[in-house]
Structure 1
Amino acid sequence: MLTDRGGAWSAGGTMADIVLISPRFEMSYWGLEHALPFMGRSANMPPAALPLLAALTPAGHTLTIMDENIAPIDFDRCARADIVGLTGMIVQRHRMTEILQALKTCGCSTVVGGPWVSVSEDYFGTLADTVFIGEAEETWPRFLEDWSRGAPARRYQQADKTDLSLLPTPRLDLLDLKRYAFGNVQFTRGCPFTCEFCDIIVLFGRRPRIKTVRQILAELDLLHRMGQEIVFIVDDNLIANKRAMRDILGPVIEWQRERDFPLTFFTEASLDLADEPDLMRLMVEANIVNVFVGIETPNEDSLRETKKLQNLRRGGTMVGKIHGIQNAGLEVWSGMILGFDNDDDTIFDAQLRFVSEARIVGSMVGMLNAIPTTPLHDRLAAEGRLDLDDEPAFGTNVIPKRLDRMVLRDGYLRILRDLSEPAAYFDRLDALYLDGPLSGDQGRTARLTGKPWLRRREQARFLVRATVMFARLMLWVREPDLRSEYRRRILHLARVNPRPALLFVYALRAAMHYHAWLLADRMSKSPAGVVNSY
């Protein structure tokens, strides 16, 4: 419908006043909601999709991005807009519904895209005027053209996957990046594997698509100019195309070296990274310090069941491969899943043993969840083993085969509690950094040995940050036992290995521990409000 509210006429039609919204997340493991105050930040990372859509918006339209994780939505501003767009994941679906209901009285066109509506197209019913299924780099400009002519479609879906080599640099200038703990950047999309539960290959396909070196370096330049220091490479599997990644990491290393390594990265990769020593060396040289790996389970029958065969390839045990990645200089975070068909009640202790033996400090654990459009969802629907309620009674829509649903939920909560038990958590941290292969100085300061004055300045910055975070922990953590444990561990470290970067790592991990501990504690006291990470 054509409108003259805020629109200016051009030869091509009406120019739109557009608001793009990233809704508030529900509390989650990676949300770090309880850790962010210690870090002096409001949210963990900016929304990646909206600055890219803004960059793809033709000149003449006006754009505002609102991230509800940073500040409340200005609905008065939305009421003055021609188009209000929302994106969101499964954990944002309820808030998305509330926002769309509030926008019904505004008179604007409402559009929805993102991972959740792409796999559950009818979820929002008639609340949204237009939905975007899958990637939207081609369909968003097409929609704006249709809208300017007064003929927007109800549904848009690209016929082909986006050619990443044609994408512009995201409009990060539309965000207040200082409010976020980490920046983000994308090198590739897609994953060659066939894990049954995963929606990544449904949304992005199995053929990895890659940005050019020029694009990647331009985005790094922008992040650096805007003051970012720690950046998440958001690729679902950074090494999906190993040959191409080798070609990319070389220029990234050179870019870092020319600027004295201003960016520290963390990322995601599959476990077969352990079989690629030269690739791990390049990642470390590029100042990638952490890698999230989808381990899923120590139960090999469950890995075969879910077609996670890359974790079963020859060349050593999974624990041995994780140690190999750590020995190369990369800390490993893990994703673990409970409730596969081959899991029985022994899986809970098996997972705890695995995480301890592997020296994994941060482990995201969740119950198996069947996302619509995935092979797992199709299989369980055919078997009549899906809980179809929007809020499943036991925290997951999967009805397990060999576990009672309450046993699965309670076992999940026990693992969360045990993993965040302070002594066990810091013992794993000590095993990795004090007794193991990581020094805590494998990042930027290790790259500055040829510039002692710059190295000393960087060490001083780390020391100041560690001191500030330690003070906040001592002042703001209300639980005396936790506060005492944080003090004991950090002061012990200051005596035996007083590297400023390592002190900062321990203070940061204490803040992250507080979030995980508080999340587990509150869910255990109210199991009906369980938050499932998967």
Structure 2
Amino acid sequence: MAKIAIINPAFEVSYWGLEHAQKMMGYRANMPVASLPLLAALTPPEHEVVLIDENVEDIDYDMLADFDIVGITGMSVQRFRMEEILTELRAREMFVVAGGPWVTVEESYFESLVDVTFVGEAEVTWPQFLTEWENGTHSRRYEQAEKTDMTTIPTPRHDLLKNEHYMFGSLQFSRGCPFQCEFCDIIVTFGRRPRIKNASQIIDELNCLKAQGVKIGFIVDDNLIGNKKAIKPVLAEVARWQEENDYPMVFSTEASLDLCEDAELMELMARCNIQSVFIGIESPNEESLKETKKYQNVRERGGSIVEKVHIIQDFGIEVWCGLIVGFDNDTPEIFENQKTFIKQARITHAMIGLLHAIPKTPLYDRLKEEGRLDMSDQHEFGTNVIPKQMSREELLHGYLETMQHSYQPDVYFDRLDSLFLNRDFMFRTFRTEYFRKHKWLQVKQFSFFMAGFCVLFWRLMRGVPDKDLRKIYRRRIFGAMKSRFRSPSIFFFYTIKCAMHYHHYKMTTDMIEDPTKFVSSYGKSMRTDSPNHEHAHEPAGSCSSKTPVTVGALPIVKEVAACESNA
């Protein structure tokens, strides 16, 4: 029997991390990386497993001396912290194994600091390694010959996590994406054929999360609707579970823009209580989209990109998005075009990132051949891409200015009001047949939302140190209450949006005041278009996540999460 510890290193402050809002609301992290509980579930029962997430607890190196195996996972933005941890573990002569997104694309990076390396998915190789380790025949490198059969994956051990320190939980339905975006490592690691779990597996995981008191979940799939035909019956079963259990959980996920083309699929998502989707828009510049082979965003069906976003919003699902600057077809005009796009699209939360070439992707190979890659480990201008139609200084300056503009209070709240107040936005979940037939849920909804609003408003006014911002938040919230007085849920959601604005505003202000800090910290990220960054979900060889896109209204505190999930 082996005593095993698996570590997820600390993250630095990021757009999706909501660290400033977390501190205000008393939490340590937004969500656990899904790899930890999955690796624990893949470990044969005769072994003891301890999960350590440095985002919610310190690493006790003296305690680790009692373990036979210490594993570490991590993505690109964690690589420097991973190296520090591995250096300490090596100095203490511990047996160390490493995997995750960063190791998968740069497997030699920690070569001198680890005993065993895992590349790619590890549902097969992790148990194989443990058996061989017991027999004294283990290898130094493991990589699965075939993609994981998703129907064989066990229920993750969410019970081993310190769930009370997270704002919400994570779960996974599928892996893979059918598209071919040049910059994306998802299709490199997981392939272009979406693989989906059985509905029974997902229901088991939902019951596990429910037993742990998790009320808010992020479905970490890189594209939940990659196989629309196959996912529909799965979503129907999840919807049935929600109805049978009086809607105990609320979800958010990632999907492609072609979601707008399928009303049946959107209705199923609403019945599942999926209230928001993160969509990789990337750019309003169609030539840039064609350049990067994001053809699904330029199809004529459904209209323009803005019109497609409006279709999803008008249906009753909030849209968050990722935008990228620095494509070959981008000129300095792209920054104003991005600002105009998110305003017209009524997208409150838009993560604007610098294009970054991830090793093993087609983009990386192409730019390396063209001599347009910064091959240093820490990039002076926040990205390893040398742009084609602007200088690196112009790209960085334009990026920072665009982020700062997007989260100025008046600009942010004008976008928010354009959707929630001017368009009378309401989540489709609350208008589904089940909710219409169960009037008592509407009463329960009213009570919970009002209670939740009071708690959140009090915490917001206590937690935001800037009195001018507090004044703005009060004015905006009271304006929303006046405008939508018949919809108490909006009071709750609007207050949450204020808390989230504080994080985005604080982070972007810090970036502008000290760009060098941004370059040395945020510039480490290999990909900033996605809340998952580099797949939140796989076991040792490919997963860990910084943060999810959050639920349409991101319930920040668990004591009022029921306002959304039980309504």
Match of 2:71 in 1: 85
Question: Helix, strand or coil: the match of 1:184?
Answer: strand
* Per-residue CA distance 1:14-58 (angstroms, 9 max, x = gap): x11000011101211111111112333211111101111111111
Residue 443 of structure 1, CA deviation? 4.6
* Per-residue CA distance 1:89-110 (angstroms, 9 max, x = gap): 1111010000001111333210
Question: Helix, strand or coil: the match of 2:113?
Answer: coil
* Aligned partner letter, 1:512: M
Write the distance in 1 (CA, Å) between the matches of 2:181 and 2:450. Answer: 43
* Per-residue CA distance 1:213-263 (angstroms, 9 max, x = gap): 100111111111211111111100011000011111111111111111111
* Aligned partner letter, 1:494: M
* Aligned partner letter, 1:55: A
Q: After the TM superposition, which residues 485-496 of structure 1 pair with which residues of structure 2 at under 5 Å, given as runs?
A: 485-496=472-483
* Aligned partner letter, 2:488: P
Q: After the TM superposition, which residues 62-461 of structure 1 pair with which residues of structure 2 at under 5 Å, given as runs?
A: 62-315=48-301, 316-439=303-426, 442-443=429-430, 448-461=435-448
Taking a change above 3 Å as real, the CA distance of residues 314 and 324 of structure 1, as seen in their structure-2 partners, is: same
Question: Helix, strand or coil: the match of 2:112?
Answer: coil
Taking a change above 3 Å as real, the CA distance of residues 471 and 515 of structure 1, as seen in their structure-2 partners, is: same
* Aligned partner letter, 1:426: F
* Aligned partner letter, 1:362: H
- TM-score of the superposition, structure 1-length normalised? 0.95
Aligned pairs, how many? 520
Write the distance in 2 (CA, Å) between the matches of 1:195 and 1:451. Answer: 44
Write the distance in 2 (CA, Å) between the matches of 1:57 and 1:331. Answer: 38
Write the distance in 2 (CA, Å) between the matches of 1:171 and 1:363. Answer: 33
* Aligned partner letter, 2:310: H
Residue 330 of structure 1, CA deviation? 0.5
* Aligned partner letter, 2:504: A
- Is 1:501 matched with 2:489? yes
Conserved 8 A contact 2:232-2:268: yes
Taking a change above 3 Å as real, the CA distance of residues 441 and 373 of structure 1, as seen in their structure-2 partners, is: closer
Query: Mean Cα displacement is larger for which, 173-182 or 360-369?
Result: 173-182
Question: Helix, strand or coil: the match of 1:343?
Answer: coil
2:18 to 29, 32, 38: 32
2:457 to 470, 474, 496: 470
* Aligned partner letter, 1:478: P
Write the distance in 2 (CA, Å) between the matches of 1:461 and 1:84. Answer: 44
Residue 451 of structure 1, CA deviation? 4.0
1:510 to 494, 498, 521: 498
Conserved 8 A contact 1:440-1:505: no
* Aligned partner letter, 1:339: G
Residue 504 of structure 1, CA deviation? 1.6
* Shift >3 Å, 4+ stretches: 440-455
Residue 440 of structure 1, CA deviation? 5.3
Conserved 8 A contact 1:477-1:483: yes
Conserved 8 A contact 1:199-1:371: yes
Write the distance in 1 (CA, Å) between the matches of 2:73 and 2:59. Answer: 14
Conserved 8 A contact 1:445-1:458: no
* Aligned partner letter, 1:196: E
Residue 452 of structure 1, CA deviation? 4.0
Write the distance in 1 (CA, Å) between the matches of 2:292 and 2:197. Answer: 30
Taking a change above 3 Å as real, the CA distance of residues 286 and 337 of structure 1, as seen in their structure-2 partners, is: same
Taking a change above 3 Å as real, the CA distance of residues 441 and 268 of structure 1, as seen in their structure-2 partners, is: closer
Residue 442 of structure 1, CA deviation? 4.3
| Higher relative contact order (Cα pairs below 8 Å, separated by 6+ residues) | 2
* Aligned partner letter, 2:40: A
Taking a change above 3 Å as real, the CA distance of residues 51 and 172 of structure 1, as seen in their structure-2 partners, is: same
Conserved 8 A contact 2:275-2:427: no
Conserved 8 A contact 1:113-1:131: yes
* Aligned partner letter, 1:136: A
* Per-residue CA distance 1:165-213 (angstroms, 9 max, x = gap): 0011000010021211111110000001000000000111111101001
Residue 445 of structure 1, CA deviation? 10
Conserved 8 A contact 1:287-1:444: no
Write the distance in 2 (CA, Å) between the matches of 1:441 and 1:518. Answer: 32
Question: Helix, strand or coil: the match of 1:34?
Answer: helix
Residue 511 of structure 1, CA deviation? 1.0
Write the distance in 2 (CA, Å) between the matches of 1:88 and 1:502. Answer: 37
* Aligned partner letter, 1:99: I
Conserved 8 A contact 1:185-1:233: yes
Which ranges of structure 2 fall in alignment gaps of 5 or more residues?
Answer: 530-567
* Per-residue CA distance 1:112-159 (angstroms, 9 max, x = gap): 111110001111131111110000110000111111112221100000
Write the distance in 2 (CA, Å) between the matches of 1:55 and 1:125. Answer: 27
* Aligned partner letter, 2:468: D
Conserved 8 A contact 1:22-1:88: yes
Write the distance in 1 (CA, Å) between the matches of 2:427 and 2:224. Answer: 23
Residue 449 of structure 1, CA deviation? 4.5
* Aligned partner letter, 2:513: K
Residue 453 of structure 1, CA deviation? 4.1
Write the distance in 1 (CA, Å) between the matches of 2:206 and 2:138. Answer: 36
Taking a change above 3 Å as real, the CA distance of residues 406 and 464 of structure 1, as seen in their structure-2 partners, is: same
Conserved 8 A contact 2:481-2:490: no
- TM-score of the superposition, structure 2-length normalised? 0.89
Residue 486 of structure 1, CA deviation? 0.7
Residue 456 of structure 1, CA deviation? 2.7
Taking a change above 3 Å as real, the CA distance of residues 101 and 444 of structure 1, as seen in their structure-2 partners, is: farther
Question: Helix, strand or coil: the match of 1:126?
Answer: helix
Match of 1:6 in 2: none
Write the distance in 2 (CA, Å) between the matches of 1:456 and 1:442. Answer: 15
CA RMSD of aligned residues (A): 1.5
Residue 332 of structure 1, CA deviation? 0.3
Residue 444 of structure 1, CA deviation? 9.2
* Per-residue CA distance 1:49-106 (angstroms, 9 max, x = gap): 1111111111211110011111111212211111000111111101000000111133
